[in-house]
Structure 1
Amino acid sequence: MTTFTETVKEFNSLVQQYKFIEAVDKFYDQDIISTDNSNEPTKGMENFRKEVENFISNSEVEKLELLSTIVEENLSVAHWHYIFTNKMFGRLDYKQISVQRWRNGKIIQENHFYNLG
């Protein structure tokens, strides 16, 4: 049986390999609620998957480094360093904290915190 820590490691590994859609399909709940900073949340798998596909089609990732993680019961926190070029926003280089709540091996809620300025 896979432990929760192993599940989180596998999820983070897919993200580090830029396998975003694979990570979405395998680790996100149908009722996912995902929020960036204080923006309106994206709700539901269909809307969330469209957001991820939009990011992929409009961005060229240069670096995606996992700096640190915390794994607790049904909660994971990851500190990321992103560098990518987005067609709308240009080149972005920032650090992000991602907090995920899990249930039954799936992410049910996540919040991303970052400052682009």
Structure 2
Amino acid sequence: MQTLNERVQALNTLVAQFRYPEAFDQFYHESLLNYENEQAPMIGLQAEREAMEHFLNSVTNQSAELKTVIVADNTSVSEWLYDFTHKDWGRRHYTQITVQRWEDGKVVHQRHHYATN
């Protein structure tokens, strides 16, 4: 069994490559609660899969650079620098902080913090 540090590292490797379907299969719990900033949560992994599929079909020129990771007490915090072009939003270049709570080796709660303007 991998340690939490190893699982977080493996997850972040997939995220940096925009390999979200694999990340979901390996590291996310079916009852995931996912928050985008202060919005109401997406409930369940299937809702997250559908939202991500829509997002990935809408972006080009994407990159994700992992800047910092903290892992402690079944929680991980990752700082990302994202850069992409979205068909509706145009070019986006921003820093995002993702906080994840883990249970039994899976992410059960996730919140993304980033500027929206």
Q: Same fold (TM over 0.5)?
A: yes
CA distance in structure 2 between the aligned counterparts of 1:60 and 1:3, rounded to whole angstroms: 34
Query: Match for residue 59 of structure 2?
Result: 59
Across the two proteins, how many residue pairs are aligned to each other?
Answer: 117
With the length of structure 1 as denominator, give the TM-score of the two structures: 0.96
CA distance in structure 2 between the aligned counterparts of 1:28 and 1:62, rounded to whole angstroms: 22
Question: Percent identity of the aligned residues?
Answer: 38
CA distance in structure 2 between the aligned counterparts of 1:63 and 1:14, rounded to whole angstroms: 12
Segments of structure 1 that go 5 or more residues without pairing to the other structure are none
Is the 1:94–1:116 Cα contact (8 Å) retained in structure 2? no
Segments of structure 2 that go 5 or more residues without pairing to the other structure are none
Query: Match for residue 33 of structure 1?
Result: 33
Is the 1:92–1:116 Cα contact (8 Å) retained in structure 2? no
Q: Which amino acid aligns with 1:48?
A: E
Query: Match for residue 115 of structure 1?
Result: 115
CA-based RMSD of the aligned residues comes to 0.9
Query: Match for residue 80 of structure 2?
Result: 80
Query: Match for residue 6 of structure 2?
Result: 6
Query: Match for residue 99 of structure 1?
Result: 99
Give SS of 2:57's match.
helix
Q: CA deviation at 1:116?
A: 3.0
